[in-house]
Amino acid sequence: MILGVIADDFTGATDVASMLVRAGMHTVQVLGVPDGGLPQADAVVIALKTRTVAPDEAVAQSLEALAALRTAGAKQVYFKYCSTFDSTPKGNIGPVTDALMAALGTDFTIACPAFPENGRTVFRGHLFVGDALLSDSGMRHHPLTPMTDANLVRVLQAQTAHAVGLLRHDALDGGVPAVRERITQLRAEGVKIAVADAVSNAHLLTLADACADLPLLTAGSGVALGLPPAYAQRGWFTPNANAATLERLNGPSAVVSGSCSEATNAQVAQWQTAGRTALLIDPLALHEGRQTASTVLAQATAALAQGPVLVYATAAPESVRAVQAALGVQAAGALVEHALAHIAHGLVACGVRRLVVAGGETSGAVVQALGVQQLRIGAPICPGVPWTQAHLPGQGGTVQLALKSGNFGGVDFFAQALRQAGVDL
């Protein structure tokens, strides 16, 4: 193993794995630290769910993941967080970084959430979402990690005992030697974590090359794009043009959607406009027993003979608010996740081999219900969302999953994903 990644959430793990595969690294994602040791691959991504848990818990789980990666021989460790730097003054980016640095015995690392292809750029230490500062973006209203300061040096400094500095864009423009020189200066000044600017993929490639020998990197998924070429240049591996190739599976296909984000609402509407089968899950009807997951599953499996089926709870914000007011936010979420996970499990049991899932939490629930332990990562459908493949010993073998977090993907994402997996649509 060359690279070991510790990701702080599930769809973020798939995102970073997708970047590595795209650049030719054979990559496997595991869900949590497996009991029997890590699989063989150029890169292994351990997906945790530590973004918003208590800092102590995030640190403990991250250290356990680190120990597994070191046992498997990882040359470099990468702590992957969100491209909007989701965290609070308590953490968890700072505390986890500090703990990983201590465990690895290193006194310097970088912090770079930039992902320019998805509109996340860092300039003079300030994070932009599209043309807006992070603090002016929708992230300022996030229920768990409201981001009200775009100055990442200040944001990170509040979370760590280490001195935080800035690796500015002009050093990146100067190429690898200039970045190395700047890092030497920063270290001499006592800086232990440098927030790195990046406004383009060229910056990410330079940064990755200059930092490929550091024991620890901390970043969003963008920096991962530059690592495979940097490793190849060092003779550590040969990029494989087929790293993203998954076998072609036959059999029915389906879409399960529990995301209520704007992008997913548009994708569900587009599927219906195209005249394809769509079955609605109504949380209030479920709650009152007027609808059951089993009856919807039976309808869905009956419809599979005519082509791919969408089962969705996706709804507009007013309707979600009404459901939440009636049932409570947590209870409504859990009710829908449970129903969709049951349906996804039933569809796979009935032979579905290509399944698209929309929603981060929904994906977590589905993957758990299917008993997925590891995912092989295939080709991207859109930036951040690859096809993946899981082996399900109890359920007839292999299934391919596309796990889409809420706001990703174009309006025709569902059909696009299925066509890419060989479905005739």
> Which residues lie near ligand ADP (CB under 6 A)?
258-261, 264, 283, 313, 315, 320, 323-324, 332-333, 336-337, 359-362, 405-406
- The residue among 124 and 321 lying less far from ligand ADP, judged by its C-beta, is 321
Contacts of 371 (CB under 8 A, 6+ apart): 392, 394, 395
In three-state form (DSSP H/G/I as H, E/B as E, the rest C), the secondary structure along 401-417 is EEEECCCCCCCCHHHHH
Go through the chain and tell me how many residues it has: 425
Token pair belonging to 94: 């700072």
CA distances from 14 to 73, 89, 111, 342, 395 (A): 22, 26, 20, 22, 23
The distance of closest approach from Cβ of residue 331 to ligand ADP in the complex, given in angstroms and rounded to an integer, is: 9
The distance of closest approach from Cβ of residue 284 to ligand ADP in the complex, given in angstroms and rounded to an integer, is: 9
- The residue among 18 and 76 lying less far from ligand ADP, judged by its C-beta, is 18
Cis preceding linkage at 407, omega within 30: no
- The residue among 231 and 387 lying less far from ligand ADP, judged by its C-beta, is 387
What proportions of the chain, in percent to the nearest 5, are helix, strand and coil? 45, 20, 35
- The residue among 77 and 336 lying less far from ligand ADP, judged by its C-beta, is 336
CA distances from 251 to 75, 309, 344, 407 (A): 40, 13, 15, 28
- The residue among 261 and 374 lying less far from ligand ADP, judged by its C-beta, is 261
The distance of closest approach from Cβ of residue 360 to ligand ADP in the complex, given in angstroms and rounded to an integer, is: 4
- The residue among 56 and 262 lying less far from ligand ADP, judged by its C-beta, is 262
CA distances from 228 to 3, 23, 201 (A): 9, 6, 14
The distance of closest approach from Cβ of residue 91 to ligand ADP in the complex, given in angstroms and rounded to an integer, is: 21
Contacts of 133 (CB under 8 A, 6+ apart): 126, 127, 150
DSSP H helices, 3-45, are: 10-22
Q: How far apart are CA 304 and CA 229, in angstroms?
A: 43
- The residue among 264 and 277 lying less far from ligand ADP, judged by its C-beta, is 264
Q: How far apart are CA 41 and CA 376, in angstroms?
A: 10
Residue where the block lists tokens 């003779």: 235
The distance of closest approach from Cβ of residue 327 to ligand ADP in the complex, given in angstroms and rounded to an integer, is: 8
The distance of closest approach from Cβ of residue 227 to ligand ADP in the complex, given in angstroms and rounded to an integer, is: 27
Residue where the block lists tokens 């292999």: 398
Q: How far apart are CA 425 and CA 418, in angstroms?
A: 8
Nearest to 367 by CA among 419, 332, 404: 404
- The residue among 194 and 403 lying less far from ligand ADP, judged by its C-beta, is 403
The torsion defined by the Cα of 68, 3, 382 and 256, in degrees rounded to 10, comes to -10
The distance of closest approach from Cβ of residue 145 to ligand ADP in the complex, given in angstroms and rounded to an integer, is: 13
The distance of closest approach from Cβ of residue 250 to ligand ADP in the complex, given in angstroms and rounded to an integer, is: 28
- The residue among 94 and 283 lying less far from ligand ADP, judged by its C-beta, is 283
The distance of closest approach from Cβ of residue 298 to ligand ADP in the complex, given in angstroms and rounded to an integer, is: 21
The distance of closest approach from Cβ of residue 138 to ligand ADP in the complex, given in angstroms and rounded to an integer, is: 12
- The residue among 165 and 258 lying less far from ligand ADP, judged by its C-beta, is 258
The torsion defined by the Cα of 303, 307, 313 and 315, in degrees rounded to 10, comes to -130
The distance of closest approach from Cβ of residue 231 to ligand ADP in the complex, given in angstroms and rounded to an integer, is: 32
- The residue among 4 and 406 lying less far from ligand ADP, judged by its C-beta, is 406
DSSP H helices, 72-200, are: 93-104, 152-157, 169-173, 175-188
